[in-house]
Amino acid sequence: MTELPQLEDTHLDKEQKKITPQRVAFVVYVAFATFLCAGVIWGWSALLLILEKNGLYENLCDTENKICPERDKKLNLIFTSGTFAFFFSGLFGGISLDRFGSVKVYGVGSFFFTLGFIIFGASDLSEFNGYIAGMVFLGASSPCLLYSLMSIGRFYPGWESTIIGIVNCCFDASAIMFAIFKLIVDGTGARLGTIFIIYGFLCFYLAVGVFAWPELGLWNRINNHKMEPVEEHSKPNTKQISFLELIRTQLLTLDYLFFFMFMIVSVTWVSTYPGVVTLQLASFFGKSKGDQLATIFNYILPAGIFAIPGVGYLLDRKGLFISFLVLASLLTAWSILNMIKIVGVQILNFLIYTVTRALLYSALVSYLVQTFGFSSMGAIYGLSSLVCGVSVFLVSQYFLVEYTQVELKGDYKIPGIVQIVTMATCYALPIYVFFRGRRRSTESMTASPSQLNLMEGSQFSSDESIEMN
């Protein structure tokens, strides 16, 4: 079997592998920073209720008609612009992470985050309407913050997936921030714009704290490691390979093809849900009841943080096959229950969605790390996110809002059926992982010692490559 060369990951000495109180505190600090800043745009449904109450775009509505598709489209454009920026910047954030390291990428993300909230604040405190621009900056900041903070997993050998799971669950939990803003505004009468500006600078100061952290020396040493092409003289069939060639080769494999199919389907539906859940619930139960349920959803979503032990256990102890099998089942169950017009079922489904989302992004990153390594994770995930961004924008803005709200008069039956059918394809990845594992096990048992040496360190074989001239 011919080996596919890979770039060499940084190796830490034994002293640096020790889990000290300082290193545990570093994880806590990173989790806190993630919780406060990294995923606030996914709490959009709470912000939507505030903006509707403040009368944003109400001039587009007929006062005699409670249903206002034009306003719904305009408001949803704020969210879809932010999500598109999230996935689009994932490409540049991922490549920058591989090229420049976590600290610089985190700094850029913090700057975008603060700028986005300042624009939000100015929009609320003046006649200036910059909500779309502000959401774009918030969306662009999110991958930079998330990727850089997730990369600390390489500091903790044997616990990489757990660390990734902690960061991802805190990322999901940060969606509660807009709901907290709503509580403050409703309870105190404070200006939303003032809260936006104060919060933006709060997270900027938190970023300054990361730069001053004692672990920075280790962080810099690892992330500034030059990813030079590796030439293994002991393996005659291995030749020097550049970083771009490595990425190209990895993208042309069945390992990546099945991953990409899973990612684009699951991420599209999971990412569009926060933007349309308020509209969907209103179509099921009426505007008043729908808004109440949307508020409950906002408070349940951060509960993903309690899924950290389960996510870490699945990914670190049960492996990719079981993890993705569970994930595909959760995605399918969520899609089916999403069609049932019973209040209790919808609340249960909020919980399923929360757990599913917590596991989803952790599993996707863990798959890339275990299959391709840390050295190319950012670039591959970023490229995949770019395509997902286009898909999320089109499905959310045109299929779930414009087509469903206008043409179907708010009937979500057809979108629900499409979601269920496409989600069923997610079982392809765990099935592939299962048979890939069996094949490799068989190859390992029958291989000669010299062949085992060639297989060592190789994540996938060349016979899984898709030929492309």
Q: Provide the mean pLDDT of the chain.
A: 79
Instruction: Say what the pLDDT of residue 421 is.
Output: 95
Residue 3 — very low, low, confident or very high, per pLDDT cuts 50/70/90?
very low
Average pLDDT over residues 432-452: 71
Alpha-carbon distance of 124 to 4, in angstroms, equals: 54
In a domain, 240, yes or no: no
CA dist 105 to 39, 110, 115, 211, 276, Å?
A: 16, 9, 16, 12, 31
In a domain, 119, yes or no: yes
Range with lowest mean pLDDT among 15-24, 133-142, 181-190, 400-409: 15-24
In a domain, 394, yes or no: yes
- Whether the per-residue pLDDT at 342 is higher than 80: the answer is yes
Q: By three-state DSSP, how is residue 244 classified?
A: helix
In a domain, 465, yes or no: no
Alpha-carbon distance of 180 to 142, in angstroms, equals: 19
Give me the helices (H) in 101-130, please: 102-125
Q: By three-state DSSP, how is residue 241 classified?
A: coil
Instruction: Say what the pLDDT of residue 220 is.
Output: 54
Of 287, 247, 297, nearest in space to 6 by CA: 247
Alpha-carbon distance of 389 to 178, in angstroms, equals: 22
Q: What's the token pair of residue 65?
A: 């008609």
Query: Domain tally for the chain?
Result: 1
Instruction: Say what the pLDDT of residue 261 is.
Output: 95
Residue 151 — very low, low, confident or very high, per pLDDT cuts 50/70/90?
confident
Average pLDDT over residues 325-330: 96
Average pLDDT over residues 101-110: 84
Strands (E), 4-149: none
Q: What's the token pair of residue 192?
A: 């939303």
pTM, whole model, 2 decimals? 0.74
- Whether the per-residue pLDDT at 430 is higher than 90: the answer is yes
In a domain, 467, yes or no: no
Alpha-carbon distance of 52 to 50, in angstroms, equals: 5
- Whether the per-residue pLDDT at 5 is higher than 80: the answer is no
Average pLDDT over residues 198-217: 71
- Whether the per-residue pLDDT at 460 is higher than 50: the answer is no
Instruction: Say what the pLDDT of residue 424 is.
Output: 94
In a domain, 461, yes or no: no
Instruction: Say what the pLDDT of residue 8 is.
Output: 40
- pLDDT tens, residue by residue, 361-416: 889 988 988 888 767 777 788 788 888 888 888 888 778 877 887 777 778 899 99
Residue 446 — very low, low, confident or very high, per pLDDT cuts 50/70/90?
low
Residue 427 — very low, low, confident or very high, per pLDDT cuts 50/70/90?
very high
Of 391, 289, 302, nearest in space to 351 by CA: 302
Range with lowest mean pLDDT among 158-162, 217-221, 404-408: 217-221
In a domain, 468, yes or no: no
Average pLDDT over residues 327-343: 96
Domain housing 257: 14-225+251-444
In a domain, 464, yes or no: no
Range with lowest mean pLDDT among 17-26, 104-113, 370-379, 389-398: 17-26
Alpha-carbon distance of 106 to 131, in angstroms, equals: 23
What b-and-e string marks burial along 435-444, b requiring 16 or more CB atoms within 10 Å of the CB? ebeeebeeee
CATH code: domain of residue 193: 1.20.1250.20
Instruction: Say what the pLDDT of residue 7 is.
Output: 36
